[in-house]
Copies of this chain bind each other. A is one copy, B any other.
Amino acid sequence: MTNSGEYVRGFTNYIILSILGNFDSYGYEMTKIIDSVSKQNIQLTEAALYTALKRMLAEEKIASYSGKNKKGMNRRYYRITPKGKRELKSFRKDWVMIENTLSSLVGGDFKYIREN
């Protein structure tokens, strides 16, 4: 699929918040999750993800703490903050509308009464 990354723009934050709404996670795992869920039709590169995480940390929508894997390698875990939870909740309410609207528009099945 061409340009698949462009579709995610505007949704990146909410994808991250959604994952962290389910369980604490770390960058590398989140890319794997998105890869596995999206099966190539949506793309969120590591560069995009890590900059998003940094951004959201600064905005205090997420917090982070360090952990290790079994082999002893470092991981940086992220968890959602109350602020992040509020934002996610609010977005999910809007999402239904956004989805329907986008569907109507790109599907071409909208009604519009033309003048003159």
Establish whether residues A18 and B106, one from each chain, have CB atoms under 8 Å apart when the complex forms: yes
Chain B residues lying within 8 Å of A108, measured Cβ to Cβ, are 18-19, 21-22
CB within 8 Å of B: which A1-25 residues: 1, 3-4, 6-11, 14-15, 18-19, 21-23
A18 x B105 contact (CB < 8 A) = yes
Interface residue? A101 (CB, 8 A): yes
Let me know if A18 and B107 touch, CB within 8 A.
yes
Residues on the B chain within 8 Å of A1, using CB = 94
- Give the oligomeric copy count: 2
Chain A residues close to B by CB (< 8 Å): 1, 3-4, 6-11, 14-15, 18-19, 21-23, 29, 32-34, 36-39, 41-42, 69-70, 91-92, 94-95, 97-99, 101-108, 110, 112, 114, 116
Sampled A-B contacts (22; CB under 8 Å): A1-B94, A3-B10, A4-B98, A6-B9, A7-B98, A7-B102, A8-B10, A11-B106, A15-B106, A18-B107, A19-B105, A22-B108, A23-B114, A37-B112, A39-B101, A41-B94, A41-B98, A42-B98, A42-B101, A70-B116, A95-B103, A99-B103
